[in-house]
Structure 1
Amino acid sequence: RKRLWTLSTILLLLGILSNTYDYILGYNRFFPFLWPDYLGYFLVGYTLKSHAPQRSLPALSLYGLSTISLFFASRYAFEHGEGLYFYRNLSPLIVLSAISLFALFVSWGGCGGKLARIGKMQGDILGIYLVHIAVLNVVTKILVLTTPSLMQCAWLNIPIRVGLVFFVSWGVVRLMKRLPICRYLV
């Protein structure tokens, strides 16, 4: 277990360094060559799923702290012309936020009631991650065509798109798991 955590931490740190290097140099690698940077995420997900945290408060606290820090760091960077580095998938605050949110969901798996149902969603998370970018593109195009004024209002369109993309992606994954050919993909 300790070796998995060490390896996943090293892989995440390498991904963060690679992402930062690419950002500073303005380098955009061809999509198929990006997957090694994300291996740390997958390994952390496997480790958390295999060794679920017993308490949710540390994960919730880390998620809140990293999300608030992300907001302020991004605002500062954007106001000073530094771009949107902090919103990249492998920026340190996004990594902390994503891992702590996943840990929070995993920790709910042992609880009763509604929290247990949310915790059981962990088996679909990788599939949701794999299909969400295609769903995001489709949902965004539909919203741009049908409600262009909504797309001008970030405080409203972002939560709506997040909700739509999440639930549509989850539905696609649940459907794919029922099809014999697709069940092994997600």
Structure 2
Amino acid sequence: MSSAVLYLAIVAVWAVVLVPMWLRRDTEATGITRLLHKRPEEDEVTEEVPEESPEPRRRVTRAAIIARRRRRTTGLAALVLTAVALVASGVAPWWATLPPAALLAGHVALLRVAVGMDAARHRAAAQARAAAARTRALEARRAAEAAEPAEVIELVPLDEVFDQYADDRRAVGE
């Protein structure tokens, strides 16, 4: 009975980790379809086969990465809780909780490393933006220094200053 539970736990762990990865990778350009279709040079086909350009891969957004991490963490936590429930009910021995707990601990350790890498990437991007801004400011200052100074025009004062309200003058429309 305990060996069956152990096998079931192993299958569940592999299913939680590998099945979603396998389903996401199974596209026309990659995955199982690549294994099923042989390349022309492997078949020794003599006729010319036109090359098909692979579809451009979707850019992975930060939100998609966070959602994938959240799903994996939730699945591993559910697996640990299931193993604990099986041990608590007496169906499985105590050590049946070790593989799921080790997987969850490893996943959390990888998340810590990923968070550090994300923070380093954001710091590097911020530093690059600051360096670019400093470079632009320096170039603007040099361009301003190299430009000819503006010509100062001295205004000659007029004897009579126009005042629209003086001497019963009115502005247009009043």
Report the TM-score, using the length of structure 2 for normalisation.
Answer: 0.26
Q: Which has the higher contact order (CA 8 A, sep 6+)?
A: 2
> Normalising by the residue count of structure 1, what TM-score does the alignment of the two structures yield?
0.25
Higher share in helix: 1
Larger Rg: 2
